[in-house]
Structure 1
Amino acid sequence: MPSTGNGRFPARRGGPDRRTAHIGLRRAADSPELESRDRRGWNELLSSGLVILAGVIVVIGFGIVASRAMRSDHGNPLPDPPPTAALGGVSVPSASPGGLIPLEPASPSPTPSSPSPSPSLSPSTSPPPSKKPVDQGAISIAAGGAPSTVDLTAEGKRDWVHWGEDGTFSLERNKNGGFAILEGTPTAPRFRHALSPTRFAWTGGDPVDHSDGTPTGIRTCGAGNAFTLSAPASTSSRTLRLYLGVVSAKGVLQARLSAGTATASATAEQRDGQFRGVVYTITYRAPKAAKINLTWTTAQAFGSGCGGVALSAATLF
């Protein structure tokens, strides 16, 4: 650039020089209006940034809380509820998360008007359970007078027996009776008699097939001598009928079961030498399959003759 004659450069055309421009800029920066405008812009920018930052923090915090809750539900199941108290019978409610629907309907809680009763510390007063009584069976004996005739076949549906038709030790019985009625071992002295006021008839017998009516039987003499018999017993009731006699003696009939403790007895007496016929109907039942055992004994003999008891016939039905 050519200088002037005074050694200074000429001023630029069309604008202020550098000093003038610098001064103008400083004045403009120091203007209060410009400074206020700049502050408002920064404040608005800072406020917007704070609002955005707060929103981000809230979103992140909610995500952390939800994540922890989900891990607590699936990874850390709630502990089982504590056991019910030993006294009082009060159930502790379960700590299940709110809003879950139980699989089974819950029992209704007691209303305040009907609280649960407190447990009683006194000992129980209920009686102990009663024991079932043991079945001992049953026996009953009914005495009756001797009839004039007896049809043993018609009466003894199960079995029948007659003694003394052919001799002292003879025994005639139902051939289809299955030996239900049995006599024990015979004892001596033992005699055949034909003194019975009753006539005994039968058909289908063995070894004697039939009889139109016989007064025969057997007897014994002296105190202590006896006849013994037995028949089947079961839980159902059965009836055994004995046709007996006594001459110048006191006779005692005793009955007992081979199972159970039931017993029964009967007595017949005839002091003179006449034959007295008696009939005993024995109804019995046992607690299980068993036998009834009978003994017809001369308890006392009167006079100097052959006093004792007699045996004629028996039927089972």
Structure 2
Amino acid sequence: MAEEDLPRAGTGASGRRAARRGSGGPRRHRSAEGHPAGARRAFRRHALASDVLAPVRRHRWVVAGVALLACLTALVSYVATRPEPQAAPPPGGAPAGAGRPSGYPAIEANRTGTDPASPGLRPRQRPPSPSPSPSVTTRTPAEPPLLTVTRADIPAEVDLTAVGTRDWMHWGLDGGDSTDRKRGGSGEIVDQGGSGARRGWDGNQELFSWRDGTSERAVDRTANGVYTCGAGTGFALAVSADGELRTVRLYAGLWMARGRLEARLSVGGPTTTLRMEDPHTSRSAEFTLRFRAPKGVRLLVTWTAEEVFTPDCGNVGLQAVALR
């Protein structure tokens, strides 16, 4: 290129750069060079836009932060209040824990025993009690049968109402065939007869009274009774048992004879025998029999002239019997 063309070529920026390159002078960094007018305007517009939009961007970040915080709060609340998963209900029953009020302590916490916990319990239940042992009824053994016989003198006066609180009988008030007995008594005394004809008399040494009789309602101090003549004759009585200890008092006598008293229980067992005699005159006694036997058993008593000491009607006699 011609020299005259150099100024023209260097009039522009590119020309100046070319001249500097051609002149071999130092090369400057691009940052030190000036910016074109269009670039400066674009930069200013960008800076202005950044200044204007900065508050908007900050507002958007604040809103996003608040929304994120709200979401986190809701998530924590949901997790905290979500009900625990329910266990599958046992076959044929309600689900475990159903109906337990909130705050009620666990069943394990309420166990006071040392036995291991039983799984699958429902609220407020306790392990089932062990099956009770079969009850064994202990029965008191029945008292064995009892029979004792004693003899004593007859009191001068006997009150049959007081002595025979359960039952009593009296013979001979109106002759050999008459009897009186307790009104409303138990009926446990039974006259079973005996051998020999009965005869009445009024010469007994002891006197008998009552206030609750039938057929005579009240009698005061009678000396009457009955007797049978001859050896082998006499009387037979029976008294029913009820399992309790009972007392029988038999008022009997003899005249010029030996009498034999025999007592036994109808179920068998030994026979108790007592004898009394007087070969010259009369004699009397109160025989006390205490016995106990099951219901349905009877006490059997006989009073018999075992031997007589005169052909003129040696005998045994009977006045009364009382039960209490």
- Whole-angstrom CA distance in 2 between matches of 1:275 and 1:313: 17
Structure 2 CA distance for aligned equivalents of residues 239 and 186 of structure 1: 22
Residues 72-91 of structure 1 aligned to structure 2 (within 5 Å): none
Superposition deviation, residue 303 in structure 1:
1.5
Cα deviation for residue 250 of structure 1 reads 0.4
The answer to whether residue 309 in structure 2 is matched with residue 302 in structure 1 is: yes
Please state whether the residue corresponding to 1:200 is helix, strand or coil. Answer: strand
List aligned pairs for 1:76-155, cutoff 5 A: 137-155=145-163
Q: Distance in 2 between matches of 1:145 and 1:275?
A: 13
Q: Does the 8 A contact of 1:193 with 1:218 survive in 2?
A: yes
* TM-score after normalising by structure 1: 0.55
Matched-pair identity in %: 36
Q: Distance in 2 between matches of 1:199 and 1:185?
A: 23
By how many angstroms is 1:262 displaced?
A: 4.2
Matched, 1:219 2:227: yes
- State how far apart, in whole Å, the 2-side matches of 1:308 and 1:228 are: 15
Matches of 1:238 and 1:263, distance apart in 2? 18
Structure 1 pair 258–278 and aligned structure 2 pair: CA distance change class (3 A): same
1: CA distance between counterparts of 2:233 and 2:144? 29
Q: Distance in 2 between matches of 1:173 and 1:314?
A: 10
> Could you say what the CA RMSD is over the residues aligned between the two structures, in angstroms?
1.8
Consecutive aligned runs of 4 or more in structure 1 exceeding 3 Å deviation: 133-136
Task: Please report how far the alpha carbon of residue 167 of structure 1 lies from its aligned counterpart in structure 2 after TM superposition.
Answer: 1.1
TM-score by length of 2: 0.54
Per-residue Cα deviation, 1:1-44 (whole angstroms, up to 9, x for no partner): xxxxxxxxxxxxxxxxxxxxxxxxxxxxxxxxxxxxxxxxxxxx
2:199 aligns to what?
191
Q: Deviations over 1:74-118 (max 9, x none)?
A: xxxxxxxxxxxxxxxxxxxxxxxxxxxxxxxxxxxxxxxxxxxxx
Q: Size of the alignment, in residue pairs? A: 184
Identify if the C-alpha distance between structure 1 residues 228 and 152 changes in structure 2 by more than 3 Å, giving closer, same or farther: same
Q: Is the 8 A contact 1:260 1:287 kept in 2?
A: no
> Which one of the candidate residues 290, 297, 310 is aligned to 1:290?
297
**Which residue of the partner structure matches residue 239 of structure 2?**
231
What is the 5 A alignment of 1:6-45?
A: none
Instruction: Supply the AA of the counterpart residue of 1:239.
Output: T
Instruction: State which of 208, 212, 226 in structure 2 corresponds to 1:204.
Output: 212
Q: Secondary structure at the match of 2:312?
A: coil
**In the aligned structure 1, how far is the partner of 2:233 from the partner of 2:290?**
25
Please say if residues 164 and 216 of structure 1, whose CA atoms lie closer than 8 Å, have aligned partners that are also in contact: yes
Q: Which runs of 5+ in 2 are unaligned?
A: 1-140
Residues 175 and 134 of structure 1: is their aligned pair in 2 closer, same or farther, counting only changes over 3 Å? closer
> Is 1:178 aligned with 2:209?
no
Mapped partners of 2:194, 2:233: distance in 1 = 10
Contact 2:195 2:232 (8 Å CA) reproduced: no
Partner amino acid, structure 1, of 2:286 = V
User: What is the CA–CA distance in structure 1 between the aligned matches of 2:275 and 2:220, rounded to whole Å?
Assistant: 31
Q: Distance in 1 between matches of 2:191 and 2:318?
A: 11
- Rounded Cα–Cα distance in structure 1 between residues aligned with 2:150 and 2:219: 28
CA distance in 2, matches of 1:146, 1:185: 23
Any idea what SS the aligned residue of 2:229 has?
A: coil
What SS does structure 1 have at the residue aligned with 2:162? Answer: helix
Q: Which structure 1 residue ranges, 5 or more long, are not aligned?
A: 1-132
The alpha carbon displacement at 1:275 in A equals 2.1
Deviations for 1:162-203, whole angstroms, at most 9, x for unmatched residues?
000011100011011132211113533321111211100001
